[in-house]
Amino acid sequence: MKEVVLKVAQAGCAAGEAYFLETGEKTETSEVTDRNAELARYDSAVSALDRELSESAADSDGETAAIFETERILLEDPKSAGMVRQFIENDGMSSVSAVEKTGNVLAEEIRRNGTAVISQRSGDLNGLTERLVSLLRGGEKDIPAHPFILVAQELSPAQLSAVNPEQILGIVTAKGSPASHVSIIAGNLGVPYYYGSEEAIAEIRSGVRLVLDAGKLILDPDDEMYRMAAEAMNAAKEEKHRKKAAAEGAGIRTRIFANISSPQDIPALIASGADGIGLFRTELLFLNGAAAPTEEDQFIAYRRVAEAMAGKDTVIRTMDLGSDKQSAWLSLPKEKNPALGCRGLRISLQKEALFKTQLRALLRASAYGNVRVMIPMVTSGWEVDRVREAMAACAGELSDEGLPYRLPPLGIMVETPAAAVTADHLAEKADFFSIGTNDLTQYTLALDREAVGLESYYDPCHEAVLRLIGMTAAAGHRHGISTAICGELAANPDIIEKLIELGVDELSVSVSKVSATKAVALEAENRLSRKNRKPEPVSLAAPADGKLVPMKDIPDPAFSSGILGECTGIDPENGKIYAPCDGTVLFIAETKHAVSLLMADGRKILIHAGIDTVQLRGDGFTIFVREGDTVAVGDLLLEADLEKIRKAGLSPMVITACCP
Ligand code: PEP
Ligand code: MG
């Protein structure tokens, strides 16, 4: 048994066998004869690593998934891929040497810049290089089938993706830091992570028993220590599962999505905890280049996003060009009022080839995730019909070409008053609605959204806009389709409760506002459910012996109309009137013919002896309680002289009213 004090990046206790992940074995530079075969080896190692990283991202969530997605972006970096290819093609290097050399060159470049974030990136790049090299050599060897404590000189997220996270009981490395990506992943997995002693780590062999506890690494512990540490580890795991299940149970009904404009936004999106993508603005793909993006360019971008979302809703909007989003290559004619001219879907329907290229890419990407296509600037149903026809034509082509595709659901953006007012009609043609409040405000209030000096007129909370939102959501619900809001209004904390009350099902906000919007929506839902909660029916005992008379037959409209709440009458056999429930005596009529009780849940019950008996001025009534008395069900409240009441020509009916 040997004890070593280490630094703690993630606290906790673990007991298990070590699995030592070998890294850093350098290769002699050697020249290859078949350069094409070497390039193919490199390509297949990159694909294998990309698959591993994307599976790791899909199996995790929040920050951890975001870290794996960032690694994918690093892996896809065209500069490093170009360098590796050059070393192979021009210098005849083996793929392993080319990857190592590229890693060294880039890491050195990054290190020269020198900030903490940059040096983290350099560590991640080293790890990526190591992992690629390992895959080129045939992958990690002898990974145990059972859970283990992962040991390495140095570790990166890419190397972690080589092992099943469920098998990791703890992590120990020679070099590390509490702020590293590996530390964040360990924290999210709920496993301890210790680091800091090269000599101690060098001594560890795979298979040896380890304990991590209170900042100490114990090599080869005795049985008792090992058993106790294993028990503490299992108890901590159970507690974590319990808390996770409880947190998941406290979820909200309104789904909170994120708006993105590029696959580069994915790591931040995943870290935000968004329930999906509510709006992928594809314009960026069209605006940045010197020409329209090809089908392949678009397919890669959409597929990347769809895969990263791992089954969650991924709403991709077709190009919303024109107006404020002009691109040089599209050379649209100058218009006097571009916001009212050829923009959004109108351009797509005019430029058929351009639109079909995008639709083909979207249909193909739909085979890789839960893609939902959305069209901007709709005003009439025939536009939706035209899009469906174009989608069907693309599907036919793809099927003839033998390319995998799926026909995705088609939603419309409700961002013109025309669409909102005819939402009932459009709901028959669309699979979902998403309200673009930025444009809906502009078109409803007749105000250019970029008008300078008129900002005070641009009010997305204007009653007219809110009514259109309400109409749209109501129409959606009548037709069984969901309504989202993807304009800026969705993130306004002052209006979220109103939007939910209007029937909006989803809010899609910028990535940085997801968690704040979730918190506000949760509070709003709780408030609304308290407000709308129907009171439990009251169960009351009969206050007198006699025959029950339903509310509608009580011969006094003050009671039968319901103004005084739910009422029942009793034709009494005798004059004794009892408390129908537990409560406090709130009020006794001066004329002694009526008593009211306050129940524990705040509701009030009125017990009224006879109809119009107020005119007897207390003659013939005896009261047995005082205001403020606590009474139990069945306690005698008052006694009425039925003969006297009848003689006065009045009805002796005893009425109980449960006041609202
Ligand atoms: C909107 O109009 O609210 C919207 C989300 O679309 P964009 O801002 O891209 O026009
Ligand atoms: Mg818009």
Q: Which of 438, 485, 507 to mutate to test the pocket of ligand 1 (most atoms within 8 A of CB)?
A: 438
472 C-alpha to ligand 1 centroid (Å)? 16
Write the pLDDT tens digit of every residue in 535-548.
666 788 999 999 99
Phi, psi for 42 (deg, rounded to 5): -60, -50
Ligand 1 atom 3, closest CA: 436
Number of neighbours of residue 597 by Cβ within 10 angstroms: 24
Question: What is residue 642's three-state secondary structure?
Answer: helix
CA distance 391 to 377: 18
pLDDT digits (tens, 9 = 90+) for 430-482: 999 999 999 999 999 999 888 888 888 999 999 999 999 999 999 999 999 99
247 pLDDT more than 70: no
- How far is 257 from 511, CA to CA, in rounded Å? 8
Instruction: Give the whole-angstrom CA distance, residue 184 versus residue 458.
Output: 43
Nearest of 410, 473, 421 to residue 444 by alpha carbon: 421
Among the bound ligands, name the one nearest to the CA of residue 281.
1
Q: By alpha-carbon position, which residue is closest to atom 8 of ligand 1?
A: 438
CB-based burial label for 359 (10 Å; 0-12, 13-18, 19+): buried
**Residue of 486, 567, 581, 658 with catalytic role:** 486
pLDDT class for 252, splitting at 50, 70, 90? confident
Q: What is the C-alpha separation between 553 and 568, in angstroms, rounded?
A: 9
User: Within 6 Å (CB) of ligand 1, which residues are found?
Assistant: 279, 281, 320, 415, 436-439, 486-487
Quote the pLDDT of residue 312: 93
181 is catalytic: yes
The kind and range of the H/E element at 636 are strand 636-640
The CA-based angle 602-603-607, given to 5 degrees, is: 135
What separation, in Å, do the N-terminal and C-terminal C-alpha atoms of the chain show? 74
Q: Which of 332, 354, 346 lies closest to 375 in space, CA to CA?
A: 346
Whether 191 and 149 have beta carbons less than 8 Å apart is answered as no
Q: Is the pLDDT of residue 169 over 50?
A: yes
Is the predicted pLDDT of residue 263 greater than 60, yes or no?
Answer: yes
Ligand 2 midpoint to CA 316 (Å): 13
Helix axes 116-136, 95-113, angle to 10 degrees: 180
Residue with the smallest CA separation from ligand 1 atom 9 is 281
pLDDT band of residue 514 (cuts 50, 70, 90) is: very high
What would the DSSP string read from start to end of 536-581? PPP----SSSEEEE-GGG-S-HHHHTSTTSEEEEEEESSSEEE-SS
The atom of ligand 1 lying closest to the CA of 440 is 2
Which numbered ligand comes closest to the C-alpha of 319?
A: 1
Given this model, what pLDDT does residue 322 score? 86
Query: Is residue 355 predicted with pLDDT exceeding 80?
Result: yes
Nearest-atom index, ligand 1, CA of 281: 9
| Residue 434 alpha carbon, nearest atom of ligand 1 | 5
- pTM here? 0.62
Q: Which two tokens stand for residue 351?
A: 């430029």
Largest CA distance in the chain: 123
- Determine the distance separating the centroid of ligand 2 and the alpha carbon of 439, expressed in angstroms: 5
Q: Name the least confident of 120-129, 188-197, 267-276.
A: 120-129
For the stretch 324-346, pLDDT in tens is 777 778 878 888 888 899 999 99
- Condensed to tens digits (0 to 9), the pLDDT of residues 126-151 reads 888 888 888 888 776 678 889 999 99
Average pLDDT over residues 255-272: 92
Percentage above 90 pLDDT, the chain:
58
CA of 436 to the centre of ligand 1 (A): 5
Q: In this predicted structure, what is the pLDDT of residue 18? A: 94
- Which residue in 181, 567, 593, 608 is the catalytic one? 181
For ligand 1, atom 4, name the residue with the nearest CA: 436
- What is the amino acid identity at position 270? I
Q: What confidence tier does 117 reach under pLDDT thresholds 50, 70, 90?
A: low
In this prediction, residue 658 carries a pLDDT of 86
Q: In this model, does residue 354 exceed pLDDT 80?
A: yes
Q: Which of these ranges, 168-182, 406-420, 456-470, has the smallest mean pLDDT?
A: 168-182
Q: Which of 283, 444, 485, 486 to mutate to test the pocket of ligand 1 (most atoms within 8 A of CB)?
A: 486
- Indicate the residue type of 159: Q
Among 75, 84, 74, which Cα is nearest to 39's? Answer: 84
Query: What's the rounded mean pLDDT across residues 414-426?
Result: 97
Tokens encoding 326 = 């002009």
Say which ligand is closest to the CA of 257.
Answer: 1
Which residue has the CA at smallest separation from atom 6 of ligand 1? 436
Residue 595 pairs in a beta bridge with 588, 607
Question: In the chain, what are the domains?
Answer: 2-244 (3.50.30.10), 248-326+340-532 (3.20.20.60), 546-659 (2.70.70.10)
251, pLDDT greater than 80:
no
249: pLDDT strictly greater than 60: no
Closest ligand 1 atom to residue 436 Cα is: 3
Cα dihedral value 138, 142, 145, 147, nearest 10: -110
Q: Are the CB atoms for 469 and 499 separated by under 8 Å?
A: yes
- How far, in Å, CA of 520 to CA of 497, rounded? 8
Which token pair is 357?
């290229």
Give the tokens for residue 226.
């090992």
Q: How confident is the model at residue 29 (pLDDT cuts 50, 70, 90)?
A: low
- What confidence score (pLDDT) does residue 569 get? 93
CB distance 528 to 535 below 8 Å: no
Average pLDDT of the chain to the nearest whole number: 89
Alpha carbon of 26 to ligand 1 centroid (Å): 52
Span from the CA of 294 to the centroid of ligand 1 (angstroms)? 24
